[in-house]
Amino acid sequence: MTTARNTATTLPIAGAPGESHPTPDAILGAYASLPEPQEDQEEYYRLLARIPGVRGLEIPFRDDLGGTAGLPWLASQLAPHWDRNIITAIPGTMMRVWTTGTFGLASTDRQGRAAALAFTRSVRDGVEALREAAGRDVVAAVEVHSAPSGEPGVAHSAEAFGESLSQIIDYDWGGALLLVEHCDAFVAPDLGEKQLLGIDEELEVLHVLNHPRARMSLNWGRSALEARDAATALEHVRLARAAGMLEGVMFSGAGPADTRYAKAWMDGHLPLDVDEPGSVMSAEDVRACALAALEPIEGPEENIAPVSYLGAKCQVPTEAAPEQRLSFLTHILDATRI
């Protein structure tokens, strides 16, 4: 079992005098709200760097980390105190899933799984390249996924995913954690978006792997759209915490109606409901999940560690000024009360 982190810094629990929680780091999935011009992106990053408590970004890996601007430019945008950045492989993973239908670390197709292992090796190389470009350690964790999409036991399996994790955990990640980010699981052929393994299967794979640097992360919207129910996100937080595997939660909305950002119940990174009426992610939902992610839990041998980070990620209107983009993210962070 892991033990509690950051116990020297605590914040009070609303309505519970005398109790306290460790303060997690704040992480921003800023790529979902970036403006288009590079100059505006640089201004936006400067504004984000002023938000108290933020220790890094969630950075997407598609074919590489640098994108069109290049890795040196990306490294130069990382504020000095942004040393807990998280790399997410989901954009590159789903691009390849939608192209091939068999790509994924959990694939029952031998070639599809081999391609995913090679892709994950390129993610590892990207982490090292970013560290070298920044001249310091800047990556705290890397998120991987139980692709491909489809019916369990047909398109993907827990056994195949476990075999893949047992290989990639031995890659040299430079001290970064390997996080299985749960995305919406397969429910029915015509429901959901990513349709990956169920959270119970992913937690069991992590339990069997039993490696201290392999853990789980959650995304509020991806859990909600799985069952088309906002309550599912809280259920997943409690489940992963009880298993002793939850490292962090990213708050990104979803909802039952088509919006300017996405179709109904799709992974559209919707803002909080105050900024997008079609979103079912409310401040109360965010706070409930944050408390569940941080509350003390006694394990069979020792206390189960709270999450090390909570994050905010959402789309914004394309015409939004940098200050409005920032406000959409801070509304989510404020709801966590970290």
Contact 71, 64 (CB under 8 A): yes
pLDDT band at 338 (very low <50, low <70, confident <90, very high): confident
φ and ψ at residue 132, rounded to 5 degrees: -65, -40
User: What average pLDDT does the segment 153-157 reach?
Assistant: 92
Task: Give the C-alpha separation, 211 to 179, whole Å.
Answer: 11
How does DSSP assign 295-315, residue by residue?
S-EE-SSSEEPPPSEEEE---
Q: Is the pLDDT of residue 6 over 50?
A: no
Q: What percent of the chain has pLDDT over 70?
A: 94
Lowest mean pLDDT among 154-163, 212-221, 255-264, 291-300: 291-300
Q: List the beta bridge partners of residue 141.
A: 86, 177
- Which two tokens mark 96? 């390849």
Answer yes or no: is pLDDT of 19 > 80. no
Higher pLDDT, 266 or 18: 266
Q: What angle do CA 3, 7, 10 make, to 5 degrees?
A: 135
Q: What is the CA radius of gyration of the chain?
A: 19
- Give the strand pairing for 139-144 and 246-251: unpaired
Please state, as a whole number, how many other Cβ atoms lie within 10 Å of the Cβ of residue 175: 11
Q: Is the pTM higher than 0.85?
A: yes
Angle at 182 between CA 181 and CA 184, to 5 degrees: 140
pLDDT digits (tens, 9 = 90+) for 250-294: 999 999 999 999 999 999 999 999 999 999 999 999 999 999 999
Query: pLDDT at residue 21 above 70?
Result: no
Residue pLDDT, tens place only, 167-190 = 999 999 999 999 999 999 998 888
Question: Do 193 and 226 touch, CB atoms closer than 8 A?
Answer: no
Residue 3 is predicted with a pLDDT of 31
Mean pLDDT of the region 123-148: 98
Across 82-107, average pLDDT: 98
64-84 confidence digits (pLDDT tens): 999 999 999 999 999 999 999
Confidence bin at 20 (pLDDT 50/70/90): low
Looking at residue 2, what is its pLDDT?
31
Cα(103)–Cα(35) distance, integer angstroms: 31
Write down the mean pLDDT value for the chain. 93
The CATH number of 10-336 is 3.20.20.150
For residue 15, is it left (φ>0), alpha (ψ between -120 and 50) or beta? left
Q: How far apart are CA 191 and CA 143, in angstroms?
A: 24
pLDDT of residue 300: 79
Give Cβ neighbours of residue 211 (< 8 Å, ≥ 6 apart): 169, 178
For residue 25, what pLDDT is reported? 97
Q: Strands 54-60 and 85-88: what pairing?
A: parallel
pLDDT of residue 190: 81
Average pLDDT score over residue span 146-158 = 93
Over residues 193-213, the mean pLDDT reads: 97
Between 90-100 and 110-134, two packed helices, what is the crossing angle to 10 degrees? 150
Q: What is the pLDDT of residue 12?
A: 31
